[in-house]
């Protein structure tokens, strides 16, 4: 290799490094400002909207001395920028204050409720992806056929139906009438006290301990809410898959593959779907994030003891620390998944590489 070529290669290398660093820097700026934005909004909701946060905590009958002391303890006599600094520092350490309802630190409650939400949303996304992707592919391949129409209708209803209402109807049909599933809870009362969870994901815990009766019971409880969330995820995933596949099937490499004489199945599943895989990862990640959010209503309907139910229970008792703590946690995970899927998209798709 000549000196000139070497230099050119080094130049390309360093340009590439600069490009990667600058896109990493951009990513960090976006991540930090988005999280600060989330905290700023919850700070605003908790401290600015209530006319007097002290009264919101103590009630209006507290003596003046107590009010003054609490004001100082809450740091409300400080300038608001300093208050926000303390707020951010506490939030980063996972300190969201104490729940009035349970008298625990909010973070303790959330840590207990979090696995339930994750278990539900994960199973929901799995159902949605496993059924939604093939449906979307079929709809794109047989465009205008019966299956395309069905996918379209599934999508339209999924975008239009109130999730909590569908959940209630599901309970009437599958629990009360057909008795295919168990009542709204995570486990039967019998197992509630004898079963010791390890990770908090009951299906996994039961399988790890070989307690198959518990596993079956947990399955009977989770399957209806998970299928419900799965339906919403399916509606979104199948529609997006269809659109990505239509896009890929119109490309020239498909014509080339046909000209080579590849089988239609190999063209669809081996070539087109593989090229659509990168945006699909993003779509599935986004759908997972939206299921975390959708869990608020679903968990309320199915008495599922996750973060969603925790937030709604706290709402009913005006327990603002708990509400805002739950909001920050769900918001953080939501934002995190959004950012990660964006990053993943850049890493996986060679076309989006800079330079």
Partner 1 sequence: MSAEVVQSRREWLLSERPASRMQARLGRAYVAWRRFSANRLAFIGLLIILALVVVAAFAGVLAPYSPTVGDLKNARLLAPGAAHWFGTDDLGRDIYSRIVYGSRWTLYVVILVAVIAAPIGLLVGTVAGYAGGWTDAILMRITDIFLAFPKLVLALAFVAALGPGIENAVLAIAITSWPPYARIARAETLTVRNSDYIKAVQLMGASPFRIVLRHIMPLCISSLIIRVTLDMAGIILTAAGLGFLGLGAQPPLPEWGAMIASGRRFILDQWWVAAAPGAAILIVSLGFNLLGDGLRDALDPRSGDQ
Binding residues for partner 1 (CB under 8 A):
30, 33-34, 37-38, 41-42, 45-46, 49-50, 156-157, 159-166, 168-169, 171-172, 176, 243, 246, 289-290, 292-294, 296-297, 300-301, 311-312, 315-316, 318, 320, 323-324, 326-327, 330-331, 334-335, 338-339
Q: Kindly tell me the burial class for residue 133, based on how many C-beta atoms sit within 10 Å of its own C-beta (0-12, 13-18, 19 or more).
A: buried
Least distance between partner 1 and beta carbon 343 (Å): 14
310 Cβ contact list (under 8 Å, min separation 6): 109, 110, 113, 322, 326
Beta carbons within 10 angstroms of residue 15's beta carbon: 12
Q: Tell me the two tokens of residue 4.
A: 């000139």
Residue number, 149 or 352, with CB nearest to partner 1:
149
Q: Tell me the two tokens of residue 315.
A: 């709402």
Residue number, 103 or 179, with CB nearest to partner 1:
179
Residue number, 133 or 322, with CB nearest to partner 1:
322
What is the C-alpha to C-alpha distance for residues 141 and 177, in angstroms, rounded to an integer?
39
The CA-based angle 132-136-137, given to 5 degrees, is 120
Residue number, 32 or 130, with CB nearest to partner 1:
32
What is the C-alpha to C-alpha distance for residues 230 and 133, in angstroms, rounded to an integer?
12
Least distance between partner 1 and beta carbon 252 (Å): 18
Residue number, 214 or 273, with CB nearest to partner 1:
273
Whose CA is closest to 136, among 235, 10, 206? Answer: 235
What is the C-alpha to C-alpha distance for residues 299 and 174, in angstroms, rounded to an integer?
17
Residue number, 80 or 216, with CB nearest to partner 1:
80
Q: Are 257 and 267 in contact (CB under 8 A)?
A: yes
Residue number, 117 or 214, with CB nearest to partner 1:
117
Q: Are 124 and 304 in contact (CB under 8 A)?
A: no
Least distance between partner 1 and beta carbon 293 (Å): 4
Least distance between partner 1 and beta carbon 168 (Å): 5
Least distance between partner 1 and beta carbon 181 (Å): 13
Whose CA is closest to 138, among 126, 124, 154? Answer: 154
Q: For residue 306, give the DSSP letter.
A: S
Least distance between partner 1 and beta carbon 198 (Å): 29
Least distance between partner 1 and beta carbon 316 (Å): 7
């Amino acid at each position: 290799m000549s000196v000139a070529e070497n230099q050119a290669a080094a130049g390309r290398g360093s340009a590439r490094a600069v490009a990667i660093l600058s896109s990493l820097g951009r990513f960090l700026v976006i991540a930090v400002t988005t999280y600060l934005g989330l905290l700023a909004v919850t700070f605003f909701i908790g401290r600015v909207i209530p006319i007097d946060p002290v009264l919101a905590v103590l009630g209006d009958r507290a003596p003046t001395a107590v009010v003054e002391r609490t004001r100082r303890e809450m740091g409300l006599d400080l300038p608001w920028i300093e208050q926000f600094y303390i707020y951010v520092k506490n939030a980063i350490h996972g300190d969201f204050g104490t729940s009035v309802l349970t008298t625990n630190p909010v973070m303790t409650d959330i840590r207990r409720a979090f696995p339930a939400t994750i278990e539900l949303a994960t199973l929901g996304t799995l159902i949605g992806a496993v059924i939604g992707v093939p449906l979307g592919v079929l709809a794109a391949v047989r465009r205008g056929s019966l299956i395309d129409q069905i996918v379209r209708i599934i999508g339209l209803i999924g975008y239009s139906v109130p999730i909590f209402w569908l959940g209630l109807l599901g309970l009437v049909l599958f629990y009360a009438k057909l008795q295919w599933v168990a009542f709204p809870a995570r486990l039967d009362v019998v197992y509630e006290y004898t079963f010791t969870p390890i990770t908090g994901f009951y299906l996994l815990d039961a399988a790890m301990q070989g307690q198959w009766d518990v596993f079956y019971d947990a399955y009977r409880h989770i399957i209806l809410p998970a299928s419900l969330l799965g339906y919403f995820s399916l509606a979104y995933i199948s529609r997006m898959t269809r659109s990505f596949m239509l896009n890929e099937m119109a490309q020239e490499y498909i014509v080339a593959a046909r000209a080579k004489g590849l089988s239609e199945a190999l063209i669809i599943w081996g070539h087109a779907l593989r090229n659509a895989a990168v945006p699909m990862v993003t779509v599935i990640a986004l759908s997972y994030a939206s299921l975390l959010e959708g869990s608020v209503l679903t968990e309320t309907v199915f008495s599922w003891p996750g973060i969603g139910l925790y937030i709604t229970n706290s709402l009913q008792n005006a327990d603002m620390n708990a509400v805002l703590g739950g909001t920050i946690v769900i918001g953080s995970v939501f934002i995190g998944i959004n950012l990660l899927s964006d990053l993943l998209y850049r890493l996986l798709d060679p076309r989006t590489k800079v330079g």
